[in-house]
Amino acid sequence: MSIYREYDIRGIFDKELNEETITRLGYALADEMRPHGEYVAVGYDARSHSPVLFEYLAAGLNAGGMKVLGMGMVPTPVNYFCNYQDFGGITPCASVMITGSHNPSEYNGFKITIDKAPFFGEQIYALGRKIEALPFPPKVARQVIEIDALSRYKAYMIEAFGHLRGMPQRIVYDCGNGVAGLAIDDIFRSLGLNAKGIYTDPDGTFPNHHPDPSEEHNLEDIKELLFKEGDIAFAYDGDSDRIAVLTRANNIKGDMMALLFALKMERPTVIGEVKCSQVMYDTLRERGATAVMYKTGHSNLKVKMKELHADLACEVSGHVFFSDRYFGYDDAIYATLRMLELIQDGIDLDAEIAKLPKVFSTEEIKVKTTEQEKFPLIAKLKELLKNPPAGFPAIREIIDVDGVRVIFDHGWGLVRASNTTPVLVTRFESTDESEAKRYEEALNAMIGEAQKQLGGR
């Protein structure tokens, strides 16, 4: 059951993701998909075992009565894109992306969409319980129809952003040997942009650096190229649903990207997650936008966007979701083109960021724990915060939409349980650097007390 996570299904190839488990997964998923249609689009990332998992999954889906539209190796956004496309009279009712995202190369996983909505949370956990009791599915004739979704996606982007032709800015980008290069290279070339990429060839062993642009050390090579040959830089994670945007002065995180994108939207509704800077929420509201704080997680944000008819959503880590002029999912390639559009429209990214209130923010700081203890720790922390010890910073408000975000007089601190790994994720922000450190020390001490009261497991 450990492979069934909040947002997706993820584990180690052959050890946890083996033929029996994945064929049964496809068989069980077919039950969920059949009420919506008979075709499911399936793509995969650059990992060497992804095509093997495709065959296992397709066998299970076929056994369950679904026909598979095989798109081969594609970025995750291309997989999502398929849910809105017609292929010669065939429209998929669901899609599955086989990807380990930014995890080490031995990992892989499955991101599932049914009827244009993410399949996640209790749906995944219930599916896992069901699969545990299933027999091995019967063997049936293979029903896989190959489709060229990637070309369809590239053509869409080239048409939608044809106005970017002739931009003089020098663009540099790092695909991290993930799958972004399958799309972005041709899009840039077709638009005639002055662009230079590194590590654009897909290689699931990730020989140059780990494909996680939220980690600063993975950006060293693209920063060097930016200072030598570029005006703006982009970096992508392994499956191209997360982006980093770099100027010579700033590493622009997802929440600051949302502020920039919202500049060209009329009184938008923007959803952020609990790790987003207070500066984002306050500035959006000052501009007349509606700003909503919600749970971390790409599935959570997609669902909330649909519920609120929001225009934009973001995570600090670089997931950016557009319903404004797009389909409402996270797409790093689309976000790249929207950022270039801002620059073409005369927006100085660094100047806009310089206008914002100065705050001191930590990166995400991870506290190791166990899968069994992480959620009880958050519950215990909430209990302890009701009666904080003497000397604890004054608490103005506690937001518990996802973990605990403690609002203090001059900033905030966040502690939440990761839904994908056995850690607590913390982040701290203040208008005063020493206060940010004080909030960090106070909440870390309280985490320690919570661990102690739970028996130090």
Helices 149-160 and 332-344 cross at an angle (nearest 10°) of 10
Active-site choice (10, 24, 49, 438): 10
Active-site choice (101, 361, 418, 430): 101
How many C-beta atoms surround the C-beta of residue 192 within 10 A?
11
Distances (CA, A) of 327 to 163, 186, 320, 436, 453: 20, 22, 12, 38, 46
Sign, CA torsion 7/13/422/413: negative
Output the CA torsion 267→271→276→278 (10° steps).
40
Active-site choice (5, 24, 102, 319): 319
101 is catalytic: yes
How many C-beta atoms surround the C-beta of residue 359 within 10 A?
17
Strand partners, 61: none
319 is catalytic: yes
Q: How far apart are CA 334 and CA 155, in angstroms?
A: 12
Helix/strand number for the chain, H first, E second? 14, 22
Q: How far apart are CA 98 and CA 233, in angstroms?
A: 28
Q: Give the pairing type, strands 195-198 and 232-236.
A: unpaired
271 neighbors 323 (Cβ within 8 angstroms):
no
416 is catalytic: no
Catalytic positions, written as ranges: 10, 101, 319
